[in-house]
Structure 1
Amino acid sequence: MLDSQIMILQFRRTVSIIAVLACWFSPSFAFAENDWSHHLNHWLNQNQITHVSIPQNRKFDEQYNFLILVWQYKTRATNDRDLYKKIHLNGWHIDYGEGKQKLAAWGAQQEWPYYVDHAAGKGILHLTPRSGLSSIPKSGAPSPRPWSFADPKTFQELTRRLDANIPPILNGPVAAIALDDEVSLGSFNSPLEVDYSPQAIAAFRKWLKSQYSSNSAWQRAWQLPAVSESAKLASAQPVTYEKVRQQLKNLPPSKWRLAPWLDFRTFMDQMQAETFAAAVQHARSHAPTVPIGVVGGQQPSAYGGFDYSLLRHSVQWMEAYDIGGTNELLRSFWADTPRRYQMQTYFASVDLARDQWFLWYYLAHGNRGVIAWPDSGGKPWFNAGKINPAVEKLSNTFAAVQADSLQVLAAPQTQPVFSPIALLYSHPSIQVGWAIDATTHGKTWPRRSSSLDNSCLSSGKNRVAWTRLLEDLGHQPRWIDSQELCAGELQNRGIKLLILPQAFALSSEECQAIKAFVKSGGAVIADYAPAITDQHGSGYLTPPLDQLFGLNRLSKSGWFDGNRRFEVDGERYRRPFAERLPQENCLLDSNMPIVERSLSGTRLEHQFGSGRTLYLNLSPTGYFDQSLRGANFGNHWRKWIGDWIAKQEIQEPVRVTREDQQEHGVELLRYRTKDQTEIWAIVANPTRQASVDGPGSGIALSSQNIPLRIGTTLPISGCRNLRTGKSLGTKFPLQLELPGSEAIVLEVTIKP
């Protein structure tokens, strides 16, 4: 039945695709086909995607400051040059590239940097109705992906477009090349069940063979009959979310068997990452010194293909919407020097303070620049020889963030300095978390749109909440992925505390690494339900970290109110965020819902070996909400986590306080330059619900200067305000005032 559905859906591909397929039989096809086969076989045989190195001798590493690249929407840099210059803009973009030699030459003449978008065209990496998107059912039924990544002909067409678009734009100051914008396996993060094409299913079966330690382990996870491995491979058929949904609602986690769904989602994430890597490698043959990546990156979720533990290796730069903490993920994953470029989309509104803050915030976080969407309040930035007044007010800010003295913040050789605190990024846990969240929708889960997912994905909100909470306590944590955990990076990087945010799905190897870390003296905090399944979504009879946390579950009485497991209720997406969280009929601690009703208590401490653990049985996800963050909810969390971290003797050498109290809502970011000078950037850090089509919401900024006290235990031999050039001497603490919508940037010299 499924095979017949697939045949019908394949037949329904649009005529426009068929027209393009005619070019597949060009003489260059054999080379491209062999090139993709090499990547595909390497990935499937080695069980590891290609790791793409950064370009050598990137010409923009030292040449340009913070970049503001204006997307050419309702503006042409060639026509509006004088208007750009009037407000201190000189960056722009070129679309595609083929036939754009004159534009690139103009950029060279002006010495105006640009990035190139859609170098791989549009319609393959970003599906459109014309390229077959409309042929994918929105009912949750399985479907082939138009332009299947498993089909060598898809890669052949990608390379043809790259060959046409890249060479013409290399004769100017090209800062970066984007394969495409808002790339996705389907459409953003919407739950489209692709790719069920014959080529993808064949590749999946080959990949599946390497994912299990034994034949019996695979058999148990997939609940397969006891037949030969070859017979199991031949019959292995992935399923859609609908096939596992009832398990999550009706069975305890120990009986969940999500592998036939989750394994395929993991396979597709890897398939997209390998496609990116292969396309980047091909593009490098034309532009070996230019970073190549993607723009319009999404938050990590079960659908869409954005597993950042993979993408960190497969592209050389990325502009990602800062939804679900993507900026902090990339800042951690790309912290080693020379850093890869990360950028943001800049949607200027008519709110001057918010627009100013955005640029200062992301400069302070080490972004290489922004891609500006030149429309504010529905009005273009440039029109009929005039500048939009709301944008003209930003002129001084544009100049300030691009100042020569601040180039050090965006410089790839400047390295972030993190606290000895790590948070675990576990993509299988994000997938399981999505599966739990989607149970609120019942059979209507296929209508869980990407925009709803962006505002209601529990794992994304939980990730931001943990980050903001630690920042408010004066820490700068780093994210590590599962591969780093198992490779001993906690010990190598001097980590003292590991936090497990909604770490539902952990492998036995990850659990062993966590136990070894604590046994040797490390500390671990979990919010709730760590390692209830393995990385395939198969429930553990006894979760392997229960012993670590000293847990003894007395019954199987469920989570929250006893009937729901999801934390953020996506059915209430129109209501304020706090009203989407569980409250009614829940057991409470300090007016917060207890998660596992079967456990006797909350904030459970336990000694394990030489280390200690803290099992909260509470969730900080509400800390995402700005109103809860500043109220008793936030006060409780800052005290609980702050006191416990202090007990582990973790203290920061630099602190920002206000009237001798840690100032929440302001963070201090430290960087170390190649000559060991430190840069300290101090900026407001309100919660922001980002969006893919606007500036977002929830940004609360002080309208007045914030008096701050900067204290340190480091031996300081000099301190200078980089924005003013003024020497601040060596006497600490410093008394400074932070403009609510700007940043303080200090250059600090530390005695050897």
Structure 2
Amino acid sequence: MSSSFTLAPAPAANGSRAPQGRVLGDRGISYGGDYNPEQWPEEVWAQDVALMREAGVNLVSIGIFSWALLEPRQGEYDFGWLDRLIDLLHANDIRVDLGTPTASPPAWFFAAYPHTRVVTREGTTLGFGSRGMASPSSPEYRRASVAIAQQLARRYGQHPALALWHVHNEYGAPVSEDYSPTSAAAFRTWLQARYGTLSALNDAWGTTFWGQRYGEWEHVGVPAIAPSVVNPAQRLDFARFTNDQLLACFIAERDAIRAESPHVPITTNFMAGSCPAVDLWRWAREVDIVANDHYLTAADERGHVGLALAADLTRSVAAGRPWVLMEHSTSGVNWQPRNVAKRAGEMARNAFTHVGRGADAVLFFQWRASRSGAEKFHSAMLPHAGTSSRVWREVCALGADLGRLDEMVGSEVRADVALLWDWESFWAQDLEWRPSADLSHRERSEAFYDRLWRDGLTVDMAHPEADLSGYRLVVAPASYLLTQAAADNLTRYVEGGGTLLVSYFSGIVDEHDAVHPGGFGAPLRDALGLTIEEFLPLRAGEQVRLAWPGGGLSGGGLPGGDPSGDSALELVGDVWTDDVTLDGAEVVAAYLDGPAAGGPALTRHAHGAGSGWYLSTRLDAEALAPVLAAVYRDAGITPAGLPEELEVVRRHGAGAEYVIAVNHGEAAATVPLGGARQGVADDLISGQRVEHAFTVAPGGVRVVRIAHDADAAHTAPS
């Protein structure tokens, strides 16, 4: 079965079919960005709106940091300027994504309620003068946030320009954990609701260790800096509590808005992949539409792969439904150590990668570059250089191209591969005193994703307890915390015919960060057919060699493959090895040296109708190629064999599929149409007819529509 080129149905991230639909009404792809006209004289607004129309802008986000203007004194509101702005946008057929300004409370709020300021883990109280919310546990902050959201909803909830409500801004950044007395009291309340009794809390946290047992609820505090390492179970619960407090803030505003504006969808902008403080599996259930912000890491020369990962993650938490790219940048940002400008064409490639992976809206931060403030060096749709600039020309060209893709709105992306992603496991793994400082869930997740991306496979991220039955392959790069329910789910997946690939340091602890009964990896013993007796981490810079008879070629390592040494492959790993005892698994590759010399490095276990693979060392994306090739064969997946720097994703609609091809390389690349019928494929951007195959220029983008059989006669030229 082919990967991203398959025409067969595949599940959404939760294993069920995702409903098709338009995320923002009957219009096409939404295009625009954050608009902050309060930073400019009002006479500039008309110029902005005229230029927006020239650029193809049809949606702008407003009001996100305007609390001090909307409520200059507590309980005193001024909406005149916002009335005029929304009416101006509506008169020019530009829809509004109206923000609640609660990410940045005004100076009067902190003057009236100084105890609501956030306290860091080190005990520092954070001051005013930046962006950032108050303590998410503060009743005063909740009341003030709900009040301003309610006032906005009452005034604008039925306005014809309103397309979307935008609550807050980037929850968890820059404020997530708060160690104030307000937070400590709320944490105790949260723990009482979670555990019921102190006895249950003590058991869950293992407080007999180091004499930490609690006898009174009021003695339980926040895990602030202590003389040594703080109880990891307490810290894990505090991360869960923080997520819940932030989510409660969103829900309070959302419900206040919905009471006044029940027919307009409500969202908030996630930061999938770059804000670890929030568990987006839970958050996605509370928004009407999933929205995400993404910014390239300038230091990463392969940042386009990280962009694809974030887009796939966003689509996955959206359960496969189309989503909104709420923010990205036209060029460089202003907050990284070295803010690299985007090269010509890079903005379009970034935008079409998001669209290819499910976005039905492409927005930027921001419309007009700011002259003052912390983000005055951040790029914008209308840069400081004005309309004579390359960036402006590319903004207009992108708007025109996206305007040709209206029919693609509501179509969905399908994947054969799931990569496990669990924020609670990441929170736990990132705590102190792990067996090696080189353990990184993010590094492993990115390495496996990079390999899948290079092989042209479209990937969903999935929670370990989700329905995985529709995926041919499930990859677990970093599942340190694995509940028994999740392990049972993975075991059933293998028994039912799935292929599971597990990386080291997975299945180690339960939901309380306690080692599973039976030892390391015990919950996956049936699926993997092995026992991990001891961790054997490596010293800094130390490497180990793996010998693979057959080298993964001609089916080596698989039933019926060639295990002879004629095509033996040697791989090099680092960071980690395990002392593995086999319990039914076959050795595919063994260690030639290092602390596990002679022991299994890569194993395969036939279990039920499927197979479980285990890789006990760190291989980079290049070295993972033969491993994944063998696993693909086991899973019945055949990569398309396209050039590595050619990114191809397909979206599937009711009457057609859409091939989005983005060439990140320096040479032209050809994409075969595969299942397309001659005479029914068209390039939506250029309008050209496509037969059999099409070529993507270096740095270029193409979007090709392939009609289904029922549409062939309708779409064929006369």
Report which stretch shifted further, 103-112 or 291-300. 291-300
The CA distance in 2 between the partners of 1:506 and 1:354, in whole Å, is 39
Tell me how far 1:162 sits from its aligned partner.
0.6
Which residue number corresponds to residue 513 of structure 1?
Answer: 489
Question: For 2:329, what is the secondary structure of its paired residue?
Answer: strand
Equivalent position amino acid for 1:369 in 2: V
Residue 414 (structure 2) aligns with: 417
> 2:121–2:224: 8 Å Cα contact kept in structure 1?
no
Separation in structure 1 between the aligned mates of residue 680 and residue 492 of structure 2, nearest angstrom: 42
Query: Does residue 584 in structure 1 map to residue 541 in structure 2?
Result: yes
Q: Please tell me whether the aligned partners of residues 98 and 164 of structure 2 are also in contact (alpha carbons under 8 angstroms).
A: yes
1:552 and 1:379 map into 2 onto residues whose CA distance is 52
- Residue 551 of structure 1, CA deviation: 2.7
Q: CA deviation at 1:238?
A: 4.9
Alignment partners' CA distance in 1, 2:187 and 2:116? 21
The residue number in structure 1 matching 2:26 is 62
Q: Deviations over 1:467-519 (max 9, x none)?
A: 232122121121122442xxxx212xx22221112100011111111112212
Cα pair distance change 1:594/1:196, threshold 3 Å: same
Q: 1:101 maps to which residue? A: 83
Q: Look up the equivalent residue of 1:266 and give its one-letter code.
A: R
Assess if the C-alpha contact under 8 Å between 2:681 and 2:705 holds in 1: yes
Shift of 1:300: 5.9
* Runs of 5+ consecutive residues of structure 2 not aligned to the other structure: 1-17, 71-78, 127-131, 297-305, 333-340, 370-375, 547-570, 581-598, 711-718
Distance 1:673 1:648 in 2: 26
Quick check: 2:465–2:485 contact (8 Å CA) kept in 1? no
Residue 315 of structure 1, CA deviation:
2.2
Residue 164 (structure 2) aligns with: 176
**Aligned partners of 2:679 and 2:226: how far apart in 1?**
64
1:560 aligned residue (520, 531, 538): 538
- Cα contact 1:414–1:674 (8 A) shared by 2: yes
Structure 1 residues 379-388 or 194-203, which shifts more? 379-388
CA–CA separation in structure 1 for the residues paired with 2:439 and 2:388: 36
Distance 1:512 1:434, change over 3 A: same
Given the alignment, which residue of 405, 421, 435 partners 2:431?
435
| Residues 198 and 435 (structure 1), Cα distance of their counterparts in 2 relative to 1, 3 Å cut | closer
1:638 counterpart = 2:625: yes
For residues 110 and 266 of structure 2, the distance between their equivalents in structure 1, rounded to whole angstroms, comes to 22
In structure 2, relative to structure 1, the CA distance for the partners of 1:422 and 1:236 (3 Å cut) is farther
Residue in structure 2 matching 1:551, options 524, 530, 533: 530
Counterpart residue identity of residue 331, structure 1: R
Cα deviation, 1:711-743, whole Å, max 9, x if unaligned, reads 5257778322212223324xx4x1x22134332
- Aligned 8 A contact 2:205 2:512 in 1: no
Task: In structure 2, give the amino acid aligned to 1:353.
Answer: G
How many angstroms does 1:161 deviate by?
A: 0.5
RMSD: 4.0
Cα shift readout 1:541-598 (whole Å, capped 9, x = no counterpart) = 41322443233335454x232xxxxxxxxxxxxxxxxxxxxx5134344232151243
Q: 1:650 maps to which residue?
A: 637
Q: Measure how far apart 1:121 and its partner are.
A: 6.0
Q: Which residue of 1 aligns with 2:365?
A: 372
State whether residues 587 and 597 of structure 1, in contact with CA within 8 Å, keep that contact through their aligned partners in structure 2. no
Correspondence for 1:333: 317
Gaps of 5+ in 1: 1-53, 248-256, 442-455, 562-582, 624-633, 656-660, 685-700
State the Cα deviation string for residues 5-51 of structure 1 (Å, max 9, x = none): xxxxxxxxxxxxxxxxxxxxxxxxxxxxxxxxxxxxxxxxxxxxxxx
Cα distance in 2, alignment partners of residues 482 and 232 from structure 1: 35
Q: Which moved more, 1:106-115 or 1:292-301?
A: 292-301
- SS of structure 2 residue aligned to 1:82: helix
- Report whether the alignment pairs 1:464 with 2:442: no
Give the TM-score normalised by the residue count of structure 2. Answer: 0.72
Partner of 1:3: none
- Spell out the pairing of 1:18-33 with structure 2 (5 A cutoff): none
User: Could you tell me how far apart the structure 2 residues matched to 1:193 and 1:300 are?
Assistant: 22
Are the aligned partners of 2:31 and 2:59 in contact in 1 as well (CA < 8 Å)?
Answer: yes
Give the aligned partner of residue 96 of structure 2. 114
Please, which of 185, 195, 200 is the counterpart of residue 209 of structure 1?
Answer: 195
**Residue 665, structure 1, aligned to residue 645, structure 2:** yes
Equivalent residue number for residue 451 of structure 1: none
1:187 equivalent in alignment to 2:187: no
Shift, 1:532, TM fit: 0.5
Shift of 1:142: 9.5
State the match for 2:588 in structure 1: none
Q: 1:261 to 1:378 in 2, by over 3 A?
A: closer
**Counterpart for residue 490 of structure 1:** 468
Corresponding residue to 1:160 among 147, 151, 154:
147
Look up the equivalent residue of 2:608 and give its one-letter code.
Answer: G
What's the counterpart of residue 387 of structure 1? Answer: 387
Letter in 2 for 1:320: D
Q: Measure the CA separation in 2 of the matches of 1:470 and 1:383.
A: 36
Q: Report the Cα distance in structure 2 between the residues aligned to 1:269 and 1:149, rounded to whole angstroms.
A: 10
Matching of residues 612-631 of structure 1 within 5 Å: 612-619=611-618, 622-623=620-621
SS in 1 for 2:706: strand
Aligned match for 2:700, one of 729, 742, 745: 742
Name the SS of the counterpart of 2:690 in structure 1: coil
Map of 2:262 onto structure 1: 288
SS in 1 for 2:405: helix
Alignment correspondent of 1:359: 351
Deviations, residues 74-132 of structure 1 (Å, cap 9, x unaligned): 665423333444444454342246331111111111112232233446239xx999986
Partner residue of 1:707 out of 655, 669, 676: 669
In the alignment of these two chains, the number of paired residues is 590
Find the aligned partners of 1:425 and 1:436 in 2 and give their Cα distance: 21
Corresponding residue SS for 1:435: coil
* Structure 1 Cα separation of the partners of residues 125 and 383 of structure 2: 45
Distance 1:473 1:244 in 2: 48
How is 1:117-128 mapped onto 2 (pairs within 5 angstroms)?
A: 117-120=99-102, 122-123=104-105
Q: Which residues of 2 match residues 294-313 of structure 1 at below 5 A?
A: 294-295=268-269, 297=271, 299=273, 304=277, 306-313=278-285
The aligned amino acid for 1:259 is A
Partner residue, 1:253: none
Which amino acid in the other structure matches residue 499 of structure 1? Answer: V
**How many percent identity over aligned positions?**
14
The alpha-carbon deviation at position 645 of structure 1 amounts to 1.0
CA shift in 2, pair 1:723/1:498, >3 Å: same
Partner amino acid, structure 1, of 2:665: S
**Equivalent-residue separation in structure 2 for 1:461 and 1:555 (angstroms):** 22
Distance 2:21 2:154 in 1: 19
Shift of 1:327: 2.5
- Which of 566, 571, 574 matches 1:593? 574
Q: Distance in 2 between matches of 1:679 and 1:667?
A: 14
- Flag the 1:183–1:301 CA change in 2: closer, same or farther, 3 A: closer
Equivalent residues of 1:301, 1:431 under 8 A apart: no
Q: Counterparts of 2:442 and 2:534 in 1: how far apart (Å)?
A: 30
| Structure-2 separation of matches of 1:300 and 1:439 | 25
* Change over 3 Å in CA distance of 1:293–1:59 after alignment to 2: closer
Say if 1:372 and 1:553 are closer, same or farther in 2 by CA, change over 3 A. closer
Counterparts of 1:674 and 1:364, CA distance in 2:
16
- Cα pair distance change 1:260/1:510, threshold 3 Å: same
The answer (yes or no) to whether the contact 1:244–1:261 under 8 Å persists in 2 is: no
Distance in 2 (CA, whole Å) between partners of 1:258 and 1:68 is 44
Equivalent in the alignment of 1:577: none
